[in-house]
């Protein structure tokens, strides 16, 4: 409670990690949004168990999290290319400006360091080309990618704008 006897909410930008159930099959590196997760936070900047994660939609840059791998929740045989099934447990990290994250491209594309990337469907990202109607960029590419990239090569290191 504040000195004005009102409840002071914790801004989403102050919560750093949210744990919860996947509402869709997802890979580490996919962008997510959370619902049902803001009942109570704690001093470790982690949110209580109870979030439901959905894959981020195209163009959405608000309240975006990224699904992360965590050694205590996966087996040694799991790799970053192994999708976690729907209704399983996951841990997501709140993205803040200036942070670096490994994101997944929607399709193979030629990406140069400094290219802008925007949220695309299914929690992935797409290169911003400047065409009319494109989503606003959310990331700047740090790494490069080739148009012939497949599999793990569709992952690219990017910095949040």
**For the segment 38-80, what is each residue's pLDDT rounded down to a tens digit?**
544 444 445 555 788 899 999 998 888 888 876 555 555 555 6
What pLDDT score was predicted for residue 71?
59
**Which residues have CB under 8 Å from 16's CB, separation 6+?**
45, 46, 93, 94
**Chain mean pLDDT for the chain:** 80
| Phi/psi of residue 103, nearest 5 degrees | -110, 165
The encoded tokens of residue 91 equal 């841990």
Q: Give which of 149, 126, 148 is closest to 136, Cα–Cα.
A: 126
Q: Beta strands of 1-154 (E only): which ranges?
A: 17-22, 31-35, 46-55, 65-68, 89-94, 100-104, 116-119, 125-127, 139-141
pTM for the complete prediction? 0.79
């Amino acid at each position: 409670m504040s000195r004005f006897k009102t409840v002071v909410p914790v801004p989403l930008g102050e919560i750093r990690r949210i744990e919860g159930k996947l509402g869709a099959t997802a890979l580490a590196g996919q962008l997510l949004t959370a619902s049902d997760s803001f009942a109570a936070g704690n001093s470790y900047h982690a949110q209580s168990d109870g979030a439901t994660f959905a894959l981020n939609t195209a163009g959405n840059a608000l309240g975006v999290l990224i699904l992360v791998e965590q050694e205590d929740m996966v087996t040694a045989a799991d790799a970053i290319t192994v999708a976690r099934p729907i209704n399983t447990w996951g841990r997501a990290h709140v993205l803040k400006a200036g942070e670096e994250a490994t994101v997944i491209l929607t399709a193979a594309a030629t990406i140069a360091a400094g290219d802008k990337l925007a949220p695309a469907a299914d929690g992935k990202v797409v290169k911003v080309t400047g065409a009319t109607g494109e989503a606003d960029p959310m990331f700047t590419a740090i790494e490069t990618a080739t148009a012939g990239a497949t599999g793990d090569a569709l992952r690219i290191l990017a910095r949040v704008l």
